[in-house]
Amino acid sequence: MKITIIAGARPNFIKIAPIIKAIEKNQTEGVTIAYRLIHTGQHYDKNLSDTFFEELNIPKPAANLEVKSGTQAEQTAAIMVAFEKEMIANPCDLVLVVGDVNSTMACAIVAKKQNIKVAHVEAGIRSGDMTMPEEINRIVTDSITDYFFTTSTSASENLLQKGVDPLNVHFVGNVMIDTLYQNLNRIVKPVFWKEFDLETKNYIILTLHRPSNVDEEQSLVQLLLGIDNMVGDKKVIFPIHPRTKAILGERELNLKNIVMVAPQGYLNFMFLIKNSFAVITDSGGISEETTVLGIPCFTMRNTTERPETQTIGTNTLVGTSIENLEKHFDAFVNPKSPSKKAAGIPEFWDGKAAERIISILLQK
């Protein structure tokens, strides 16, 4: 079996790493399975791309389509044009896409139009929020996917409700958590730990990059000032996404607690998360990692496509206003109201999802 694997953006790199490991393990055991890794170039900053290849030992891609930035349509179209050429030059039996970025949807469409089977890892998750570009990518990708690999029973249920053949829906667990378990003993304290006087369980990690939180400059500034004020004497480490940085520009914010740093490599970032007091974020992936690590997570969104991080894990959806965040944060730090949730780990988030995926694909 010849599989073309697609990765385009930071969360994709984290998800494909264990899948490639599982394929290579099968190869060493004599199984006939080959893969070709294609980087679409959707994320191209060293901090968001190369660092992850190096740290997670992901092999160099066979090709980089170098699509770079653009509007939603420009980027999607550029990926489709470039990937179609790649597919014609290098045919395969199956295209495997992960997650919900533009590369996921664009490459799935190209593959399907060439009558190539599509496997979608992290299929079936839905926020119900059609203003999120990712939600559109999820729906379109799943409408043409052949083999669906899900992280939760609710994701499988979403697919079954839409009439997907149950024989093609496979609840395998979470490849992002495979990567977490494979690297927990390799995490590294960042060099700025001392410089910023960080102490274990006494600082907060903040990440924000969703258009609903960062695209309006004034509300982003108000949100940052509000968080800076809310956290008392706790430091807030804010690895700033290029999208968010571009909005803030050179603006001086006079923040007393928030420290802006570059986007972190995986090993430094996981060290920071694991040792933090709490996390404030709008990332979906981070709410999964904090769930497994038992770190309280406040998600600045109105919806989540990962409900198990709330029902089982440590995640609390707090909406997008500073007032709501404050309300939840105060309830959390106030010892009189024991709001800390007893956290559990969702089923199959056990580090073996990628192995399950490859063994299922080998039977197709």
The binding track of 57-96 with respect to ligand UDP, each residue x by CB under 6 A or -, is ----------------------------------------
Q: Do 94 and 116 touch, CB atoms closer than 8 A?
A: yes
315 binds ligand UDP (CB under 6 A): no
User: Strand order of the sheet with strand 297-299?
Assistant: 258-261, 235-239, 203-207, 278-281, 297-299, 315-317
13 binds ligand UDP (CB under 6 A): no
209 flagged as catalytic: yes
Query: Closest CB to ligand UDP among 10 and 138?
Result: 10
298 binds ligand UDP (CB under 6 A): no
The binding track of 98-117 with respect to ligand UDP, each residue x by CB under 6 A or -, is --------------------
Residue 88 CB, shortest distance to ligand UDP, in Å, is: 30
Q: Which residue in the set 158, 264, 290, 314 belongs to the binding site for ligand UDP (CB under 6 A)?
A: 264
Determine how many CB atoms are found less than 10 A away from the CB of residue 163: 6
Q: Which residue in the set 8, 61, 190, 285 belongs to the binding site for ligand UDP (CB under 6 A)?
A: 285
Enumerate residues 6+ apart whose C-beta is below 8 A from 112. 118, 144
Query: Closest CB to ligand UDP among 284 and 346?
Result: 284
Residues 31 and 86: their CA atoms lie apart, in Å, by 25
Size of the site for ligand UDP (CB under 6 A): 15
- In terms of DSSP H, where are the helices of the chain? 10-28, 50-55, 72-89, 102-113, 133-144, 153-161, 175-183, 192-195, 211-214, 217-230, 242-248, 266-274, 284-293, 308-311, 322-333, 353-362
With CB under 6 A as the contact rule, which of the stretches 74-82, 214-222, 258-266, 307-315 interacts with ligand UDP?
258-266
Q: Do 178 and 133 touch, CB atoms closer than 8 A?
A: no
Query: Closest CB to ligand UDP among 61 and 239?
Result: 239
Q: Which residue in the set 122, 142, 178, 289 belongs to the binding site for ligand UDP (CB under 6 A)?
A: 289
Considering only residues 136-165, where is the footprint of ligand UDP by CB under 6 A? none
Query: Closest CB to ligand UDP among 4 and 183?
Result: 183
Enumerate residues 6+ apart whose C-beta is below 8 A from 195. none
Q: Which residue in the set 49, 151, 158, 207 belongs to the binding site for ligand UDP (CB under 6 A)?
A: 207
Q: Is 235 left (phi over 0), alpha (psi -120 to 50) or beta?
A: beta
Tokens, residue 361: 């694909």
Q: Which residue in the set 18, 173, 190, 239 belongs to the binding site for ligand UDP (CB under 6 A)?
A: 239
What are the counts of helices (DSSP H) followed by strands (DSSP E) for the chain? 16, 13
Residues 104 and 83: their CA atoms lie apart, in Å, by 11
Query: Closest CB to ligand UDP among 76 and 264?
Result: 264
With CB under 6 A as the contact rule, which of the stretches 57-65, 135-143, 242-250, 263-271 interacts with ligand UDP?
263-271
Query: Choosing from 170, 209, 241, 328, which is the catalytic residue?
Result: 209
236 binds ligand UDP (CB under 6 A): no
SS3 state of residue 31: coil
18 binds ligand UDP (CB under 6 A): no
190 binds ligand UDP (CB under 6 A): no
Residues 315 and 13: their CA atoms lie apart, in Å, by 23
Q: Which residue in the set 263, 296, 313, 346 belongs to the binding site for ligand UDP (CB under 6 A)?
A: 263
Determine how many CB atoms are found less than 10 A away from the CB of residue 288: 23
Residues 32 and 199: their CA atoms lie apart, in Å, by 49
Query: Closest CB to ligand UDP among 142 and 289?
Result: 289
Residues noted as catalytic? 209
Q: Which residues would be at the binding site for ligand UDP (CB under 6 A)?
A: 10-11, 14, 176, 207, 239, 263-264, 266, 269, 283-286, 289
